[in-house]
Chain A
Amino acid sequence: MACIEVRNVWKQFDLHAGRSRSLKEALIETVVPGRRQNRPSGHFWALQDVSFDIEKGETFAIIGSNGSGKSTLLKMLTGISKPTRGAIGVRGRVSALLELGAGFHPDFTGRENTYLNGAILGLSRREIDRQFDQILAFSELDRFIDNPVKTYSSGMYMRLAFSIAIHVDPDILVVDEVLAVGDGAFQQKCYDQIQRFKHAGKTIVFVSHSLPTVQDLCQRAAWLDKGVLRAVGPTPQVIDFYAEQINQTIEQQKQHLERFLPDGRASVQDIQATDFGGKFVSTLRHREPAHFRFTFESQISPDEIDIVTRLVRADGICCYDSRIPLGSIVGERRSGRIMMQIPELRLHEGSYVLNVCLAVGSQDRWIDEKFYNFTVEAAERGPGVAPLEATWLPLMEE
């Protein structure tokens, strides 16, 4: 059963909203006909005909770049604003981790603010009483809980705020980019808590820029691009689709990077993945050998040139990075073909980019840079970045 239904939702914003008119302006516009036209007016559609369902118990991601309409959509899911056209149906109690520390008063102690903030998030006094020890333990605030929050560091403040928010027990949890709170250990705790929600069969709507997190947490995803729903479906597909577009954008931007200063002294071309026999292939297989062939040309001695290669996953994670002198491969030859061999491609299924750069000596200036997109196929999609094949042994006590 769908617990969130988004049906042909459109949302229009007045470009001048937020700049409230003065009474004088409003009066003049009413009294003097024609005056209204002088005011610059304009609307834009923040969301255009967006439809999708989120099933009960599902962990659903909404991804998209800044200004794509994610926050607008979340505000409508939580009931803060209404669609201009279309309808949104929500079944169950929604709790949103949109604003941490809502209603915190600096002069009040952490304890007092916990009760107030909890009440704002919809917790009863009794529920907070029951969970207070957990909240306190989670926040790691210890005895500072009875100090005014104005004496807290921003880290302490956020930890307390997050601890309260995470202990609200909703049917639907809306999470917006809040995992970036605290240090690594605290983030892991937050992440674990969200996993616990997930296992408890709660519905989670997750908005994040962190594609790896989305990939790990969410079964399905929706991609919004400038207010238009570009894709909705299983997370891996949506992310690949999204990442492909990002890569295109990145590639274009890369051309303008300062450190890329092509001066024609050397170039690399015709990057291709091939199989054993040298036949070109477009997809590589997980855990099989991978070969990439290039042609190069150089005006200067190959000893002065480094070849830098990087394997970047579609969500931006760099899986491999290496730098070696071209001379060590080709000696004194100034043109020809070279090959990079990976005996066993330990990468999971997905889209990747091979980024090949030529650098002069020790400088971080590329005199040539090329990109090559390829995909890796596997029988199934594994977790993490790469399977490292750890083995386990019992240790004998001495």
Chain B
Amino acid sequence: MLLTTRIRTKARELYRYREMFFGLVNREVRARYKGSALGFLWSLLNPLMMLTVYSLIFSVYLRVNISNYPLFVFCGLLPWTWFGTSLTNGAAAIVANSGLIKKIYFPLEILPLVNVTTNLVNFVLTLPVLALFMAWFHVVPTWSLLMLPVVIGIQFVLTLGLALILSTANAFFRDVEQLLGPVLLAWFYLTPVVYEASSIPERFRPLLLANPMGPIITAYQDILFHGRLPDARGLVTGAATATVLFLVGQMLFQSRKFSFAEAI
């Protein structure tokens, strides 16, 4: 079958299951905080607590020289939370839904897609708080804000690609879920969230180039913290990496999805 025909068939099938997709996203977003007294506030309290700790360590103890440091960290921490949570839950997406997968036919791509989207919704819901933060620190947003959807789009594709790869791998090797914790922690510190990319010594810069989250997080900081346009070269690199990872993830997922029902 031609690639374009295949993509069209896939798209049509996903469209047919859009109600299921929205239903599941709705369930996930609301279920996360159902039954807890503070409800949605938790998705704010979590980053706020981390924010306090990072500000104390890096701004007070280690004296990192960034003005309005809490706002700076917040700009990178929110998208990183979206990324990290998506990967942690994404890895489990297939295994955790074995009941559905074994009994009902539906396009399985929906599961990682639901997970990344749910976390995107949670991320977007925290943006008003970020706006309050910006107002508190007297940071006025500029026209560069128009680039924000583009950056979010690139991060979405990248996260979805990785979630497809991880959920497939985890269906066959449960170690993936275990491995992911330490990997994400290391990845977090190697990504300029709590420090600026410019403070990385020249000879370690290639390490940043290999990290697709590097230019993405930097772009958020450029747009929201510095109020300037993000670095075009970085964004293009990020977009290219995201696309490649997404295609790899999609191919891997498609080639394995019919063994899921038997493997899990």
User: Does B17 interact with chain A (Cβ within 8 Å)?
Assistant: yes
Interface of A is mostly: loop
| Cα(A284)–Cα(B31), bound, Å | 65
Contact assessment for A105 and B263 in the assembled complex, using a CB-CB cutoff below 8 Å: no
Taking CB as reference atom, which chain A residue is nearest B106?
Answer: A120
Chain A interface size, as a band, is: 35 or more
Chain B: residues with Cβ within 8 Å of the partner, total of 33
- With A13-B262, A107-B34 known to touch, is A98 a contact of B173 (CB < 8 Å)? no
The answer to whether A80 and B23 touch across the interface, beta carbons within 8 angstroms, is no
Across the interface, which residues of A come within 8 angstroms of B102, CB to CB?
75, 80, 99
In the complex formed, the residue of B with least CB distance to A113 is B27
Residues of chain A contacted by B262 (CB below 8 angstroms): 13-14, 17-18, 81
User: Quick check: B31 and A107 within 8 Å, CB to CB?
Assistant: yes
A82 and B258 contact, CB distance less than 8 A:
yes
B103 touches A103 (CB 8 A): no
Q: Are A23 and B173 in contact (CB under 8 A)?
A: yes
Residues of B within 8 A of A122 (CB): 16-17, 20
Which applies to chain B's interface (DSSP): helix, strand, loop or mixed? helix
Indicate whether B174 reaches chain A with its CB closer than 8 angstroms.
yes
Let me know if A21 and B24 touch, CB within 8 A.
Answer: no
State how many angstroms separate the Cβ of B144 from the closest Cβ of chain A: 38
Chain A residues whose C-beta falls within 8 Å of the C-beta of B145 in the assembled complex = none
Does A173 count as interface, using CB distance less than 8 angstroms? no
Asked if B175 and A24 make an inter-chain contact with CB atoms under 8 angstroms apart, the answer reads: yes
Chain B residue, CB-CB nearest to A125: B19
Does A121 sit at the interface, judged by CB under 8 A?
Answer: yes
One digit per residue, 1 when the CB lies within 8 angstroms of any chain A CB and 0 when it does not, for chain B 1-29 equals 00000000000000011011011101100
State whether the Cβ of A96 lies closer than 8 Å to any Cβ in chain B: yes
A94–B171 alpha-carbon span in the complex (Å):
26
Chain A residues, CB < 8 A from B264? 18, 20
A121 neighbours in B (Cβ, 8 Å):
104
Question: A20–B171 Cα gap in the complex (Å)?
Answer: 8
Q: How far is the CA of A118 from the CA of B24 in the complex (A)?
A: 11
Are A119 and B22 in contact, CB atoms less than 8 angstroms apart? yes
Contact between A99 and B175 (Cβ–Cβ < 8 Å)?
Answer: no
Q: How far is the CA of A22 from the CA of B170 in the complex (A)?
A: 10
Give chain B residues whose Cβ lies under 8 Å from the Cβ of A20: 171-174, 263-264
Which residues B126-174 have CB closer than 8 A to chain A?
171-174
Contact indicator A26/B31 (Cβ below 8 Å): no
Which chain A residues (15-55) contact chain B, with CB distance < 8 Å? 17-18, 20-24, 26
Contact call A119/B20, Cβ cutoff below 8 A: yes
Complex formed: what's the CA distance from A122 to B175 in Å?
34
Specify which chain B residues have a CB less than 8 angstroms from the CB of A115 in the assembled complex. Answer: 23
Q: Is the CB of B100 within 8 A of A22?
A: no
B99 at the interface (CB under 8 A from A): yes
Cross-chain contact of B105 among A14, A18, A26, A80 (Cβ < 8 A): A80
Beta-carbon contacts of B84-123 to A below 8 Å, as 1s and 0s? 0000000000000001111111100000000000000000
Question: Is the pair B263, A80 in contact by a Cβ cutoff of 8 Å?
Answer: no
| A21 and B104 within 8 A (CB) | no
Nearest-CB residue, chain A, relative to B98: A18
Q: Mark A121-158, 1 if CB is under 8 A from B, else 0.
A: 11111000000000000000000000000000000000
Q: Is the CB of A105 within 8 A of B31?
A: yes
In the complex, which residues of chain A have a beta carbon less than 8 angstroms from the beta carbon of B179? 23
With both beta carbons as reference points, the residue of chain A lying nearest to B179 in the complex is identified as A23
Nearest B-chain residue to A17, judged by Cβ: B262
User: In the complex, which residue of chain B has the Cβ closest to the Cβ of A25?
Assistant: B173
A103 to B25, CA, bound (A): 12
CA distance A121 to B17 in the complex (A): 9
- Give Cα A186 to B236, complex, Å: 61
Residue among B17, B19, B23 with most chain A CB within 10 A: B19
Minimum Cβ distance to chain B for residue A275 (Å): 54
Interface residue? A221 (CB, 8 A)? no
Q: For the complex, is A79 an interface residue (Cβ under 8 Å from B)? A: yes
B residues within 8 A CB of A80? 101-105, 261
Q: How far is the CB of A82 from chain B (nearest CB, A)?
A: 5
Q: Which of B31, B103, B174 has the most CB of A within 10 A?
A: B103
Is A102 among interface residues, defined by CB-CB distance under 8 A?
A: yes
Contact, CB under 8 Å: B258 / A123: no
Q: Fill in one digit per residue for A56-87: 1 if any B CB lies within 8 Å of its CB, else 0.
A: 00000000000000000001001111100000
Establish whether residues B104 and A102, one from each chain, have CB atoms under 8 Å apart when the complex forms.
Answer: yes
Contact between B100 and A120, CB atoms less than 8 A apart: yes
Do residues A120 and B20 form an inter-chain contact, with CB atoms below 8 A? yes
Residues A99 and B173 in contact in the complex (CB < 8 Å), given A81-B262, A108-B27: no
Find the B residue at minimum CB distance from A150: B35
Q: Which of chain B's residues have a CB closer than 8 A to the CB of A118? A: 19
Q: Which residues of B contact A96 (CB under 8 A)?
A: 103-105
Complex contact A124–B173 (CB within 8 A): no
Inter-subunit contact B27/A81 (CB<8 Å): no
Q: Are A105 and B104 in contact (CB under 8 A)?
A: no
- B-side contacts of A79, CB under 8 Å: 105
Distance in angstroms from B85 CB to nearest chain A CB is 19
Residue of B nearest to A126 (CB): B19
Complex CA gap A179/B27 in Å reads 29
A sample of 10 cross-chain residue pairs with beta-carbon separation below 8 angstroms, ordered by A number, consists of: A20-B174, A22-B174, A26-B173, A75-B261, A78-B104, A80-B104, A116-B24, A119-B19, A122-B16, A124-B19
Which residues of B are interface residues toward A (Cβ below 8 A)?
16-17, 19-20, 22-24, 26-27, 30-31, 34-35, 99-106, 171-176, 179, 258, 261-264
- 8 extra A-B contacts, CB within 8 A, seeds A96-B104, A105-B27: A81-B261, A98-B104, A99-B100, A102-B104, A108-B27, A116-B23, A116-B26, A120-B100
Chain A residues packing against B (C-beta within 8 Å): 13-14, 17-18, 20-24, 26, 75, 78-82, 94, 96, 98-99, 102-103, 105, 107-108, 115-116, 118-125
List the 6 closest pairs (A to B, CB-CB), nearest first: A99-B103, A119-B23, A23-B175, A119-B19, A79-B105, A107-B34
